[in-house]
């Protein structure tokens, strides 16, 4: 199966190179496009790891699978929140230092 995929990929790459040659695209430009294309998709190793996780999840009981999915949801939620705070911190550090905003002091409420 892997050999067929490799052969198909090689044939597709050859066809792309021929089209680029006919169109008159410079080799450097084609190489840049090719490098970008490789970075976009997950690698074979990542695909394999993802597939193994899915298979392991299928073998779990429904109760354990739902617990696992909820745990992953919580973990991802924390990661997203942390990333948002990092971006916010970076934006604040990049912006020029402004004088602290004047705060309005409110009188304290009387104790009863």
What whole-number distance in Å separates Cα of residue 19 and Cα of residue 13?
10
- Residue burial 43-62, b: 16+ Cβ < 10 Å; e: rest: eeeeeeeeeeeeeeeeeeee
Contact indicator for 65, 54 with CB cutoff of 8 Å? no
Whole-model pTM: value is: 0.46
At residue 101, the pLDDT reads: 62
What's residue 36's pLDDT? 61
Per-residue pLDDT of the chain (112 residues; tens, 9 = 90+): 667 787 888 888 888 888 888 887 776 666 666 666 666 778 899 999 999 999 999 999 999 999 999 999 999 999 999 999 999 999 999 887 665 666 677 778 777 6
CA–chain centroid gap for 79, Å, is 12
Q: Enumerate residues 6+ apart whose C-beta is below 8 A from 37.
A: none
Question: How far is the CA of 9 from the CAs of 14, 31, 68, 71, 76, in angstroms?
Answer: 9, 16, 37, 38, 34
Q: Are 33 and 43 in contact (CB under 8 A)?
A: no
Whole-number pLDDT of residue 42? 80
């Amino acid at each position: 199966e892997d050999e067929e995929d490799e052969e198909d990929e090689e044939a597709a790459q050859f066809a792309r190179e021929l089209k680029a040659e006919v169109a008159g695209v410079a080799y450097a430009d084609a190489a840049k496009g090719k490098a970008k294309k490789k970075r976009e998709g997950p690698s074979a190793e990542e695909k394999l790891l993802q597939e193994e996780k899915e298979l392991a999840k299928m073998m779990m009981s429904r109760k354990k699978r739902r617990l696992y999915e909820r745990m992953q949801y919580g973990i991802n939620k924390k990661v997203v929140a942390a990333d948002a705070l990092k971006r916010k911190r970076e934006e604040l550090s990049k912006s020029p230092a402004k004088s602290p905003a004047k705060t309005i002091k409110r009188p304290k409420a009387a104790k009863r």
